[in-house]
């Protein structure tokens, strides 16, 4: 047996390819400066087959010892050296077993399988989430039918409060956004159409764009940030404060009490907000057309009335209803699956807004494809 280099709090001896590492004195975060680099050089030496420990002279110890041992174990696995922890204190062995081995120590084939497994778990988690959201959506539709017959356990005061928050309270921000969007459309149309002497068709552009696309999308995006995020934060807060658990214990259905009034209120108010936003957007374009293009008010109104058909309005109303249901379901679902910490409340609100906006854009693309297929 030959002596090997030592370090603060340990010494090593090598005998026939086996390293005996003697650990001495106290190993605490405050007074320990041991580093595993020297032992790493020993493990990388030729002919090393195993490493074992002698902790008979070990004093007080804390997590610094575990970090040292975990690093040695990782290096041992990388080098194919047997890591014998039988000489360590029993508590240290138990804690060391709880620490996962670094993925870098695994063979390439194992790492590949681990990556495939993570992809599979991600796909399964997303599939489960889609199934849960679809179930929640279907249950909400069924409970809405029950509510129409007066049999749902939904309080009218809750529904009226949600209608207030998702309707009247949202009018100012919806008006500002759509007014600016209508003005921007008129600006862009004026720049391009003026080249062809077709200034008069700015009114057609603003009217069709607002009723067919922009009012529905912009109102939905505003409501996803304003109301969808609020739904997720409110329900996530109730989850964290265990109010949801209390409601379930006393037999109050969560769907009727929390989800149904929110989804119904937003679904009902979105078409009204869409019509309101469309009119406000046309007024924005009206102001720009009169100020920049010197189009008379009567001409502008006549052009809008001639270009906007009932079909365009119905198309926008259909989209707004779908967007409202999507925002309500997504906000409630993300709030229900949130964790119990204060950080989870903010994460739930952020996730609800992001998922709602992405869903709105995706649904609008689906509507566009369907309208094109129907030659509408």
The residue ranges of every structural domain in the chain are 2-105, 153-373
Residue 115's pLDDT is 67
Long-range contacts, 358-363 (Cβ 8 Å, 24+)? 359/326, 359/330, 360/217, 360/220, 360/221, 360/224, 360/323, 360/326, 360/327, 361/217, 363/319, 363/322, 363/323, 363/326
SS (H, E, C) 312-373: HHHHHHHHHHHHHHHHHHHHHHHHHCCCCCHHHHHHHHHHHHHHHHHHHHHHHHHHHHHHHH
User: Which of 92-101, 178-187, 265-274, 295-304 shows the lowest mean pLDDT across its residues?
Assistant: 92-101
Cβ contact 37:71 at 8 Å: no
- What's the CA gap between 88 and 203, in Å, rounded? 83
Q: Has residue 100 got a pLDDT over 80?
A: no
Confidence band, pLDDT 50/70/90 cuts, at residue 200: confident
Taking the C-alpha atoms of residue 122 and residue 72, their distance in angstroms, rounded to an integer, is 32
* Percent of all residues in the chain with a pLDDT value above 90, rounded to a whole number: 29
Reply yes or no on whether the pLDDT at 105 is more than 70: no
**Lowest mean pLDDT across 228-237, 331-340, 351-360:** 331-340
Q: 102 CB contacts (<8 Å, ≥6 apart)?
A: 74
8 A C-beta contact, residue 136 and residue 143: no
Q: What is the mean pLDDT of residues 12-21?
A: 80
DSSP class of 100: P
pTM of the model: 0.67
Q: What pLDDT shows up at residue 366? A: 93
- Gap between the Cα atoms of 179 and 81, Å rounded: 71
Cα–Cα distance, 263 to 144 (Å, whole number)? 9
Output the pLDDT for position 36.
58
Q: Higher pLDDT residue, 357 or 39? A: 357
pLDDT band at 102 (very low <50, low <70, confident <90, very high): low
Residue 226 and residue 170 in contact, taking contact as beta carbons nearer than 8 Å: yes
Fill in the DSSP letter of residue 50: E
**Contact residues for 350 (Cβ-Cβ < 8 A; gap 6+):** 229
Residue range 52-64: mean pLDDT, rounded? 84
Instruction: Specify the 3-state DSSP secondary structure of 89.
Output: coil
CATH class of the domain whose range is 2-105: alpha beta
CA distance 20 to 12: 6
Q: Which residue carries 């997303």 as its tokens?
A: 126
Beta bridge partners of 82: 50
Are β-strands 50-61 and 18-27 bridged in parallel, bridged antiparallel, or unpaired?
parallel
| CA 364 vs CA 47, 252, 369: distances in Å | 67, 36, 9
Average pLDDT in the 104-109 region? 48
What is the per-residue pLDDT for 64? Answer: 80
**CB neighbourhood size of 136 (10 A):** 18
């Amino acid at each position: 047996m030959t002596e090997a280099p030592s370090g603060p709090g340990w010494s090593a001896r090598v005998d026939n390819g086996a390293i005996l590492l003697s650990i001495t004195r106290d190993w605490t975060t405050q007074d320990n400066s041991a580093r595993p680099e020297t032992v790493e050089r020993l493990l990388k030496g030729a002919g090393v087959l195993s490493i074992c420990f002698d902790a008979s002279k070990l004093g007080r110890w804390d997590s610094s010892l575990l970090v040292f041992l975990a690093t040695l174990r990782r290096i041992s696995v990388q080098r194919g050296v047997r890591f014998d922890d039988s000489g360590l204190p029993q508590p240290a062995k138990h804690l060391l077993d709880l620490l996962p081995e670094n993925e870098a120590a695994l063979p390439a084939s194992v790492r590949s399988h681990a990556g495939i497994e993570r992809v599979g778990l991600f796909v399964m988690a997303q599939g489960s989430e889609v199934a849960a959201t679809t179930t929640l959506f279907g249950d909400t539709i069924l409970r809405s039918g029950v509510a129409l017959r007066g049999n749902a356990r939904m309080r009218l005061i809750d529904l009226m409060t949600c209608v207030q928050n998702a309707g009247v309270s949202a009018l100012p921000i919806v008006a500002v956004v759509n007014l600016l969007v209508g003005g921007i459309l008129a600006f862009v149309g004026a720049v391009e159409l003026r080249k062809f002497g077709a200034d008069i068709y700015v009114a057609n552009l603003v009217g069709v764009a607002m009723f067919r696309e922009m009012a529905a999308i912009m109102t939905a995006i505003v409501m996803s940030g304003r109301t969808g995020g609020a739904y997720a934060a409110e329900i996530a807060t109730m989850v964290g404060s265990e109010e949801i658990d209390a409601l379930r214990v006393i037999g109050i259905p969560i769907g009727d009490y929390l989800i149904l009034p929110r989804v119904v209120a937003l679904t009902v108010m979105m078409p009204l907000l869409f019509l309101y936003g469309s009119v406000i957007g046309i007024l924005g374009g009206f102001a720009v057309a009169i100020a920049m293009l010197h189009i008379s008010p009567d001409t502008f109104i006549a052009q809008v009335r001639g270009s906007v058909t009932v079909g365009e309005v119905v198309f926008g109303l259909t989209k707004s209803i779908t967007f409202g249901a999507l925002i309500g379901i997504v906000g409630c679902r993300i709030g229900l699956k949130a964790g119990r910490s204060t950080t989870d409340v903010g994460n739930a609100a952020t996730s609800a807004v992001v998922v709602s906006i992405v869903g709105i854009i995706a649904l609008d693309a689906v509507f566009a494809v369907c309208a094109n297929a129907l030659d509408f």
